[in-house]
Structure 1
């Protein structure tokens, strides 16, 4: 199944995992320690994040370290930007209307 970044960030647990990995590499167990869901559930979330390119897994000995690849979030940022511009234009127009009324 092809997954995209939007699907990945739709889940609050996956967003929390991305936040954990934003500044450091963690093992799957270290990630799971931060959640009240099962270890298999965390593994499933990490699998989805990996499939969409937001996380890579690097084996080191017996451990598997997860690392965030935040460049993929640019796709989300670009999509949001069009709506930010739209609403800024609308609010600027409303401000002009109110000031000139």
Structure 2
């Protein structure tokens, strides 16, 4: 992140930034990304499989399923999109199960 920010970018692209991090370090990463985004007015593009990162840092989420867009919207809209739920979880789930999955 330090090298990327040295160039004063308008767009910061992060490819699975939370991969291999402990839960504590994921929280630290989220705080750093949000701080950079607000402080420098950055647009941040994140490719990530850890839902917590996506749901807590993104204003807009685009979901790809085998390279095809299966959903797009705010984190709340995506969390409630049945096509996204089925693509990500492989089955239809009740609302409580979906919330538990996206919030963990």
TM-score tier after normalising by the smaller chain length: under 0.3
The structure with the largest helix share of the pair is 1
* TM-score, normalised via structure 2 length: 0.26
- Greater C-alpha Rg: 1
Higher relative contact order (CA 8 A, sep 6+): 1
* TM-score, normalised via structure 1 length: 0.27
The structure with the largest strand share of the pair is 2
